[in-house]
Amino acid sequence: MSENIYVLVHGSWHGAWCWYKVAALLEKAGHRAVALDLPGHGRDRTPHAEVTLKAYVDRILDVLDAQPEAGILVGHSMGGVPITQGAEYRPDKIKTLVYLAAFLPRNGESLAKLSGQDKGSLVPAARIISGNGTFTTLKTEALKNTFYGDCPEEDIALARAALTPQPLAPGATPVSTTQENFGRVPRVYMTTLFDRALTPEMQKRMFTALPCRQVIPLHTGHSPFFSAPGELVRHLTAL
């Protein structure tokens, strides 16, 4: 089996830390895993006011450009938006785009537009919008039910300690993609069938509107990197 490079992009409020199980299993299987912190997340302390979709994409491009060869780019949840825009700019650095319970925007769509269509999501009720309207945090008591219902308690505790505020500006910015660039990168969608944050119905709506080469069902909630890392890695390494 040849070595692959996996670049792992987290979702809203999260950071590189959420991939710790997946990264370890990928490396144990003989691959290279690079989990990054988007600006303003994890250990990155970029001020909220400076966090934009462009800043997210630039961080991803920096990581892709640093790799010796094309890699597999994995985006979870909100991370599906910047990996989409990143593929427009670096199609030759990406073997496959993997959308893990992720937003899959078409040209001109934004995270805010798509998330507003997911009427069954528990996320709106779990969010607290800052007084100045520039970022959101999450209600601690809503975390397990919304994101981690099938996850080990130690991982829920990790999330409670490590989650950071989510700037709103990146979500309001639409992607700009073309068939010539983004459109030629193979896409795979991993759909989480018991998801309460990004509902299976909304996931299906997106991968139906923008078809993927393969759709892989996972019988998990929104966070399979915690609840089913072995299964997730088996699918990733089989791509």
**pLDDT tens digits for range 77-135:** 999 999 999 999 999 999 999 999 999 999 999 999 999 999 999 999 999 999 999 99
| Catalytic positions | 77, 195, 222
pLDDT at 2: 75
pLDDT at 1: 54
**pLDDT tens digits for range 29-64:** 999 999 999 999 999 999 988 999 999 999 999 999
**pLDDT tens digits for range 4-33:** 999 999 999 999 999 999 999 999 999 999
Range of the domain at 187: 5-237
- For 105-218, strand residue ranges (E) read 127-129, 135-138, 166-167, 187-192, 214-218
- Residue 56: closest CA among 75, 70, 69: 75
Tell whether the model's pLDDT for residue 222 goes beyond 60. Answer: yes
CA dist 136 and 87 (Å) reads: 27
CATH at 202: 3.40.50.1820
Q: What's the whole-number mean pLDDT along residues 203-231?
A: 98
Number of domains within the chain: 1
